[in-house]
Structure 1
Amino acid sequence: MLSAAPSSTHHAAGLRVQPRPGQALAGLQTRLFDWLQAHGVEPRAVQCHADASGGVRLRLTPEMLAAWTPGFDTLALATTLQRDGDTPDAALAREIVVAMLAAPQTMPFDSVDELEARVSVRGHIVRAAARTALAFRTDDAAERPTEYWHYDEDHGFLLHEGQPLIDALRAATQPEATGRRYDFSCYRATEYVILLGIAQELATRNPALLEAITQASRRRAIRSGAFHEVFLTEFGSMAQPVPPRYYVPGARVWFRNPHEGSADVEGYEGSWVIYLGGGRFSNFWKREQPYGFEQKCVEIHHWRHGVQTGADGALRMNEDIVERRTAATLAHPKRRAAVLARMQRLRDPQGVYAAGGCIDATREFPRPLCPGTSTIALPVLA
């Protein structure tokens, strides 16, 4: 369970890491400091102390929190941490680590191995999301590469016998693998991207679990609510919302459409994206143009202006209108400020369209992955 948010915005809750059975806290602390330095984080930037749970807590000092993530705003963290000579993967890993050290609510880990795995899997998810390019479609009967997948009316897209899950997920989401883009809704797209990241980490960290997921994928698609329950952890809640500008790379994020009329257009109830780091959010339809935070908020605001009724009476979204209005608002300082003041509020509860904005109270990321500590429990399939 997540602990309560810290009482002051001057203090991070950070990470809590439990020792392995028989491991002394001093040895755990030494390993954690080595881990920090391997990611280019100096121990003096971090508070480290024994936790009441019997583990070790790591968090940014109040001074570094204010300097690097003021008000728990992580959107500029990549620029703040930038170093000459960094590889993209090293820079991303450091951003993930520091953003987690700045967590406003405790992020618990059952071991250093689990901590390392869930930093690594976030990197896999970011890279997969950045490479994903799709066509937009909201129904489940969209196509997948037939070399790897076949459609079952009751169970969704199923993996062919003998085909590896990682290759199949890449083929469905990355055009370089097949030479074409496949149809997805944004929600289903995030599932494939996250599962690809999880599978890549399990290939070296927990091959037995990867094999179990592969076999399950041959029999039934784990999707929608079941996907969330099986593979993801939710960070924050409506009672204890995550600060609106706090994001860790690799998290799945929902931007809600707060306008009731345009939310009736299928596929425009909100927007599911992956936070890529560096203030960028995935754009699966134009991957070379990832969204900025403010751009995403303004775009969703203008969905209300793009609604049209087709000849069949069905509501549709005119994306050209939305794109033009979004560009005009972003270029007009007063109009931009007014739209953002509304849209950057915390969203209303489900079913309510009142004074809330588009910002969700929670973030989602993979469950524990390591042998002995993983909490991924696959459904029992008949």
Structure 2
Amino acid sequence: MKMSASNYPPSSRPLPGIGIRGNGPDAARHGHHRFMELLDGLQLADCVQAAPGGDGSQHRYCLRPDSFAGLTPDHDTTGLCATLGLDTQDSPRDLEKEILTAMLASPVPFDYPSFDEFESALRVRGNIVQAARRTALAFDTEHAERPEAFWRYAESSGFTLKEGANLIEALRLTTQPDRSKRLYSFSCYRATEYVILLAVAQELQASNPPLFEQLQRQWETRAIMSGQFHEVFLREYGSMDAPLPPMYYVPGDRLWFRNPDGHSSNAEGYEGSWVFYLGNGLFTNFWKRDQPFTVTTKCVELFHWRNATYRDDQGKLQVDDDVVDALVAKSLSDPGEVASIRDRMLRLRDPGGVYGDGGCIDTSRECVRLLRPGTSELVFPEGGGAALARAS
């Protein structure tokens, strides 16, 4: 077995990358061995530096400086598939390789209390990408629909499961028209919650069945939504004070592209756009599943929201998506205009409430919290408590 990742030179300071602990030196060595086997199997060992912690209970891994420069220059992970020759659409193994490589290039630490917990995080990201690719919905900020055989609705509890309904199957039927043969109405934010919930439920069923049963019971009682969903299930990395590089994304990240135009952002549903990074430089488009966004096309779309805004007969601010589509097509045919829009939009966003010189790129990303027995961070409200408002 090869297992040839190098140790850090004494004078170098490693990038944060991935840290894996163990409950004592023996567990840490075992976790290190499993991680190196994973790298070998994905043909990444020669690209990675590994260093043990001072007390022997943790190892940290990141890309070697030459590999970082060649694979993720300036933390740009959007070209990994092309550089590594990956087919992540048809090969789950290639998707796993892209996810792991992007994590190894992280400027902030991905730390896990065990290799098992890291393995779950890797699988959840893959689950999110696979589910997001299959998701297609009808955009609607005012109405919502679910398969009636699986869901019931009450204002106090949201959409909850009917007796005998399985959470995983209910989520698949709701979001994946290949199964249900129809599109259900969603906002983009709620759609991302359902994709995340499906990915988490799949992993809990495999690695933490008692917690999966708690999750099932929670959705039989009251849905966790909006800010509370973020608090229960997600960890945000990067911040306004320490922003992530604009082109750094890991497949399975949930992120927000902000509408930097103060006027059109007052139209409901057009404050910004919640998406998942699918890898290979692509982001979800739940309304046109076969047309995922690139950074460029997403920037051009958000830019033209300002040029398609009007007030309807009731005086409500709206954005005409057909006008947006026509303006986007026209802009994309003009390389000079595309370059100008990219220059404007590929700036980090302004703080909440500010509409100045900032662009649409958020300073942070979101990933799922720890899930394994003994180290899980998930605490469910068991149907009580009010949803928390998420700060912008």
Please name the residue that 2:20 is paired with.
17
Q: Quote the residue 2:39 is aligned against.
A: 36
1:236: Cα distance to partner?
0.7
Matches within 5 A, 1:284-303: 284-303=286-305
TM-superposed deviation, 1:29: 2.3
Q: Report what 1:358 is aligned to.
A: 360
Question: Contact 1:16 / 1:51 at 8 angstroms: preserved in 2?
Answer: no
Quick check: 1:134–1:184 contact (8 Å CA) kept in 2? yes
Alignment of 1:83-162 (within 5 A): 87-139=90-142, 141-162=143-164
TM-score for both structures, normalised by structure 2: 0.91
The aligned counterpart of 1:227 is 229
Measured after TM superposition, the shift of residue 336 of structure 1 is 1.1
Q: For 1:203 and 1:29, locate their aligned partners in 2 and report how far apart those are by CA, in whole Å.
A: 26
1:4: which partner in 2?
none
* Count of aligned pairs: 371
What residue is the counterpart of 1:254 in the other structure?
A: 256
Alignment partner of 2:221: what SS?
coil
Note if 1:195 corresponds to 2:197: yes
Cα deviation, 1:127-175, whole Å, max 9, x if unaligned, reads 1000001001113x41110011011111111111211100000111011
SS in 2 for 1:237: coil
Q: Which of 214, 217, 220 lines up with 1:215 in the alignment?
A: 217
The 1:83/1:191 distance shift into structure 2, 3 A limit, reads: closer
Question: What are the residue-to-residue correspondences of 1:283-362 with 2, within 5 Å?
Answer: 283-362=285-364
- In structure 2, do the counterparts of structure 1 residues 22 and 173 end up closer, same or farther at CA, with 3 Å as the change threshold? same
**Residue type at the aligned position of 1:97:** L
Work out whether residues 254 and 360 of structure 1, in 8 Å CA contact, stay in contact via their aligned partners in 2: yes
Structure 1 residue 25 displacement after superposition: 4.0
Task: Return closer, same or farther for 1:52/1:32 CA change in 2, 3 Å cut-off.
Answer: same
TM-score normalised by L of structure 1:
0.94
- The alignment status of 1:179 with 2:181, answered yes or no, reads yes
Would the aligned equivalents of 1:14 and 1:100 in 2 still touch at CA under 8 Å? yes
Q: Work out whether residues 11 and 65 of structure 1, in 8 Å CA contact, stay in contact via their aligned partners in 2.
A: no
Residues in 2 aligned to 1:211 and 1:348: alpha-carbon distance in whole angstroms = 41
Tell me whether 1:76 sits opposite 2:48 in the alignment: no
- Deviation of 1:51 after TM superposition, in Å, equals 2.7
TM-fit CA distance, 1:52: 4.7
For the Cα contact (< 8 Å) 1:12–1:62, is it kept in 2? Answer: no
Is the contact made by 2:87 and 2:95 (CA closer than 8 Å) also made in structure 1?
Answer: no
Task: Tell me how far apart the structure 1 counterparts of residues 223 and 30 of structure 2 sit (CA, whole Å).
Answer: 42
Relative to 1, partners in 2 of residues 1:268 and 1:25: Cα closer, same or farther, differing over 3 Å? same
SS of the equivalent of 2:270 reads coil
- What's 1:240 paired with? 242
- Larger displacement relative to structure 2 (371-380 or 68-77): 371-380
Q: What's the secondary structure of 2:358's corresponding residue?
A: coil
Deviations 1:52-87 (A, max 9, x none): 574100000010000000000000111111258995
> Which letter maps to 2:39?
L
Matched position secondary structure for 1:218: helix
Paired letter, 1:271: S
- Residue 48 of structure 2, aligned match among 36, 46, 49: 46
The AA in structure 2 aligned to 1:308 is: Y
Runs of 4+ in 1 over 6 A off after TM superposition: none
Relative to structure 1, the CA distance from residue 86 to residue 317 in structure 2 (aligned partners, 3 Å threshold; closer, same or farther) is closer
Distance in 1, matches of 2:141 and 2:88, equals 42
Distance across 1 between alignment mates of 2:87 and 2:341: 37
Deviation at 1:379, TM superposition (A): 1.3
- Is the CA contact 1:14–1:59 (under 8 Å) kept in the aligned structure 2? yes
Q: 1:221 to 1:121 in 2, by over 3 A?
A: same
Q: What percentage of residue pairs aligned between the two structures are identical?
A: 47
TM-fit CA distance, 1:219: 1.0
Write the distance in 2 (CA, Å) between the matches of 1:163 and 1:40. 42
Residue 36 (structure 1) shift: 1.2
Which residue is 2:5 aligned to?
A: none
Distance 2:209 2:169 in 1: 15
Q: Conserved in 1, the CA contact under 8 Å of 2:347 and 2:360?
A: yes
Q: Which deviates more, 338-347 or 31-40?
A: 31-40
The answer as to whether partners of 2:257 and 2:360 remain within 8 angstroms in 1 is: yes
Q: Give 1:116 shift.
A: 0.7
Residue type at the aligned position of 1:329: S
The counterpart of 2:59, out of the listed 56, 59, 62, is: 56
What is the rounded CA distance, in whole Å, between the counterparts of 1:87 and 1:55 in structure 2?
34
Residues 11 and 62 in structure 1, CA contact (< 8 A), matched pair in contact too: no
Q: Which residue of 1 aligns with 2:389?
A: none
1:217 corresponds to which letter in structure 2?
Answer: W
CA distance in 1, matches of 2:132, 2:26: 37
Return the alpha-carbon distance in structure 2 between the equivalents of residues 19 and 262 of structure 1: 50
> C-alpha separation between the residues in 1 aligned to 2:27 and 2:121?
23
